[in-house]
Amino acid sequence: MVYPPFIVVAGLPGTGKSYLCHRLAERFPLLILESDALRQVLFSQPNYGAEESARLFRVIHTLIEELLKKGIPLALDATNLSESNREYLYRIAERWDAKLILVWVEAPDEVVRQRLQERARATHREDMSQADWSVYLKMRDSVQPMRQHHFVVDTSRDISPALSKIVREATR
């Protein structure tokens, strides 16, 4: 049995991970697992602590395994800043013989700052993230480079070429 693509979309808050996932889903049928949305479902008053995050990612990992087992293409939308966290995702993909596609999303600091300020002012938002500029700055120091082959997408530019490459990779 051939298992579906498993697209891991990682990057700092405000860089455009959710935007990229939704544009990708317009071109290729897939389920998007958004860590921010799942956190809101699991915890009525999220505290973003280590124990809460560990529980969240145990649930996410279980969902990923079940979806891949059922042959459902999916994208994980989560910061995934450390290689040790991503390594667990690599092992899941390997276990289910899924086509792992890694995408690092970035944007210039000033663009991110503007996005996060707009997000804070918005009365109705589609994204579930509560991260602000101070969270971005704090997390920026903990970024570890991806060691495996990955796409890098700057969402301050036209993402159409990158989307085409990712879809091509997913459908090979």
CA neighbours closer than 13 Å in the CB half-sphere of residue 95? 14
- Helices and strands: H and E segment counts in the chain: 7, 5
Look at residue 124 in the predicted model and tell me its pLDDT.
54
Look at residue 45 in the predicted model and tell me its pLDDT.
86
DSSP class per residue in 34-83: EHHHHHHHH-SS----HHHHHHHHHHHHHHHHHHHHTT--EEEES---SH
The domain tally of the chain equals 1
Q: Model pTM?
A: 0.91
Look at residue 23 in the predicted model and tell me its pLDDT.
97
* Domain range for 91: 5-171
Look at residue 127 in the predicted model and tell me its pLDDT.
53
Look at residue 8 in the predicted model and tell me its pLDDT.
98
Q: Which residues contact 165 (CB under 8 A, 6 or more apart)?
A: 151
How far apart are the C-alpha atoms of 39 and 46, rounded to whole Å?
7
The mean pLDDT values, 10 residues at a time, for the chain of 172 residues are 86 95 96 93 86 93 96 95 93 94 97 89 61 84 93 97 97 88
What DSSP state is assigned to residue 96? T
CATH number at residue 113: 3.40.50.300
Look at residue 111 in the predicted model and tell me its pLDDT.
96
